[in-house]
Amino acid sequence: TTHTVAIVVGSLRKDSLNRKLANALIRIAPPSLSMSIVEIADLPHFNQDWEDNPPQNVLAFREKIKAADAVLLLTPEYNRSVPGVLKNAVDIASRPYGQGVWIGKPGAVVSVSPGPLAGFGANHHLRQVMTAVGIKTMAQPEAYIGNAGDQFDDKGELTNASTIQFMGKFLNAFVQWIERNK
């Protein structure tokens, strides 16, 4: 069987390293994973006043997450934590209380940074939030992609052989995690 995976990329910029890695994961994914990026760029800032009548793009985002068998969050690190745009997207799909669409989904996290610390702080802050919204987050293997500025060619293709190999193992482990937890 094929498992659908909603990928959320925590950076809005055009040349995002996180987005490049997401696209590489889509290309190298095993046939049992059907992965696609769910965009967050047009989401408004969360406002609890909408609780009864949210904007259309908020409802559409929640539906896309709800429809997926699993979720994969890619995060940059901003000031040792998760970028606000990504936290906002997670919050949006966590409401109304008790009806969050993340609840019970198998999920995984990858942090990507041009720096050597590989987004460790963001990775673990995001794990805390994922647990809070009910995502069954894969503990192992962890994925910290550091020095990411050197890992892609001019066309944005992932060229670092050891990262390609590692991410292949990560995705195979994720398939097993999904099958045990969905």
What span, in angstroms and rounded, lies between the C-alpha atoms of 71 and 105?
A: 7
**CB of residue 39 to ligand FNR, shortest distance in Å:** 14
All residues at 6 or more sequence positions from 86 whose CB lies less than 8 Å from its CB, including other chains? 8, 10, 40, 73, 75, 126
Q: Which stretch binds ligand FNR (CB under 6 A): 16-24, 43-51, 85-93, 123-131?
A: 16-24
Cβ proximity of 106 and 70 under 8 Å: yes
Phi-psi region of 98 (alpha: psi -120 to 50; beta: other; left: phi over 0): left
**CB of residue 147 to ligand FNR, shortest distance in Å:** 10
Task: State which residue, 7 or 58, has the beta carbon closest to ligand FNR.
Answer: 7
**CB of residue 51 to ligand FNR, shortest distance in Å:** 30
Structure tokens of 22? 């997401």
- DSSP letter at 162 equals H
Structure tokens of 172? 């195979």
State which of positions 75-94 bind ligand FNR (CB under 6 A): 76-80
State which of positions 103-162 bind ligand FNR (CB under 6 A): 112-115, 117, 119
**CB of residue 86 to ligand FNR, shortest distance in Å:** 10
Instruction: Give residues in contact with ligand FNR (CB under 6 A).
Output: 11, 13, 16-18, 76-80, 112-115, 117, 119
